[in-house]
Structure 1
Amino acid sequence: INKVYAFEGEEIDSIRQKMYRLRAECMPVLNENKELVDVIFWKDAFKDRLETDVREKINLPVVIMAGGKGTRLKPITNVIPKPLVPVGDKTILEEIMNQFESIGCKNFYMSVNYKSDMMKFYLDHTEHKYDIEFFEEPKPLGTIGSVALLKDKIQTPFFVTNCDILIDQDFRDVYDYHIENKNDITMVTAVKSFHIPYGVIETGEDGLMTGLKEKPDITYKINTGVYILNPELINDIPENQFFHITDLMEVVKARGGRVGCFPVSENSWRDMGEWPEYLKMIKVF
């Protein structure tokens, strides 16, 4: 039997330690006959820690990558930039910033390019409880390249997030995980299942079939577009060059650094990068 389980009557602190150490989203509970009697989910095990009013706030900088053209959301992004696309009675950008503000983050750095004047005007005329500093990439610089413009401005670990996603997760847990594991980069990943509507055949080098799975579900960990970076990594980002976050991860790994993954459930991650996902997000709000 897989040892990722708890026993009936086991103290909740012991179960929490197992779940935290293993990054397990749920923990099967077995009786003395090793029969399944319950399943404890992360949110239930840590529900007292998820109450934002009782946990200590963290005031980490947040960098929002908001310079893209949002081509997959045309034609609406022909008129307004993707960060200002509404979800409910607020924009997606405000929902993201409000989530970070709720855990104590007050300082936002926003990388802008496409329709940047519209974003600046909107936020300058909107009431909010945090400070926003805009920095403009002179040309498209990839998923992390513009952060080179923040050299000497950030001295603590900081969040980086895309401007088109919402994750139902207390990001203080991500920060705790980042610090406790001494990571250089921590990437928030979502567990995503894909259904293959065909029989999948496995073959050996000789071309003979070694296995057959009928219409399987395949599970992957997907990059959600939310990260924590240590401040010294900004010096590894070349100035005014196209540079992806994956390039930075390779730099870190090449010198023996740590790139950690903090998983969240598939249902806790919402991405509005394309129309079908955006319409789903609207229904939620």
Structure 2
Amino acid sequence: MKILVMCGGRGRRLGKLTDRVPKPLVCLNGKTILELKIEEYLRQGCRNFIFCTGYRGDLIREAVRRYEDRIDAVFSDAGEEAGILERLCHARELFDDQVFMTYGDTFTNLSLAKLLAFHEEGGHEATLVTAPIQNPFGLVEFDGRNRVTSFREKPVLKYYIGHAVVRKSALRFVPDEIRRMRDGEGLVAFFKILMAMERLGAYEHTGLEISFNTPDELKMAEEKLCQFYTMSEVEDGLEG
């Protein structure tokens, strides 16, 4: 199964950090998030990549070139203004029966082998990867007469973390008006179509998950990554 990396976004909320480079080339503790992703998938034995470029695609190609002796890479460019679903559809002829799609600005230690086994067993057209997140507030629901029907204190919810396995056959359900939607709107609409057909699965990842949209979140992401690698080194030392 090929790895399809969405790396066409600019990341405007990061301000000056993405004035000259695309978001996947922003550094976390000295390494770009794209480098971290490629090296993690190589560690898991994956070497076939599709890079969906857009904003400053030339820099993405240059960064990938450093791995040319270790990976097989192809590129797909649907244009700077294309949404995520448009980029996925544009690249459909570059992968076989299915593909692992991952956002270029998100890093995880997700086991692709376990995800693929789950996806195959479920027989879904697509399988989303989710992670748990604790809502910091008490959530209240009430009826039309303002009578409280539910109160949940800081519930643990599930959210989509920008990873999915998608079968090529699923893309036949994408109408043109959805395909052309901006940013992630088209992808959400596509997932809702599959959900209505009961062909959309969800796999829960409970390990490392790092993403960022602002300079403050970038600082927190660097701290989280540092803690993860420190703990990994400690565990490796104990096992040794």
Q: TM-score, normalised by structure 1?
A: 0.69
- Distance change in 2, residues 1:200/1:95 (3 Å): closer
Report the more deviating stretch, 201-210 or 113-122: 201-210
- Higher-Rg structure is 1
- Distance change in 2, residues 1:97/1:128 (3 Å): farther
Give the count of matched residue pairs.
220
Distance 1:82 1:264 in 2: 23
Distance 2:59 2:80 in 1: 18
1:206 aligns with 2:145: yes
- Distance change in 2, residues 1:114/1:172 (3 Å): same
Where relative contact order (Cα < 8 A, 6+ residues apart) is larger, the structure is 2
Distance 2:18 2:75 in 1: 20
Partner of 2:108: 167
Deviations 1:179-222 (A, max 9, x none): 011111000001100212xx665544323455666xx2122110
Distance 2:141 2:61 in 1: 53
Partner of 2:232: none
Partner of 2:210: 270
Partner of 2:163: 226
Q: Is 1:145–1:237's contact at 8 Å kept on the other side of the alignment?
A: no
Q: Choose the corresponding residue for 1:241, options 153, 176, 180.
A: 180
- Tell me the CA shift for residue 104 of structure 1: 2.1
Partner of 1:259: 200
Partner of 1:195: 136
Distance 1:124 1:210 in 2: 57
Q: Is 1:159–1:226's contact at 8 Å kept on the other side of the alignment?
A: yes
Partner of 1:281: 221
Q: Alignment RMSD, CA only?
A: 2.4
Report the more deviating stretch, 88-97 or 119-128: 119-128
The one-letter amino acid of 1:281's match is A
- Tell me the CA shift for residue 126 of structure 1: 5.0
Q: TM-score, normalised by structure 2?
A: 0.81
Which structure carries more helix by proportion? 2
Distance 2:151 2:78 in 1: 50
Distance 1:82 1:73 in 2: 8
Deviations 1:134-154 (A, max 9, x none): 111124222221122223332
Deviations 1:97-119 (A, max 9, x none): 22222222211111111111122
Percent identity between the aligned chains? 21
Deviations 1:115-139 (A, max 9, x none): 1112222322456511221111124
Partner of 1:177: 118
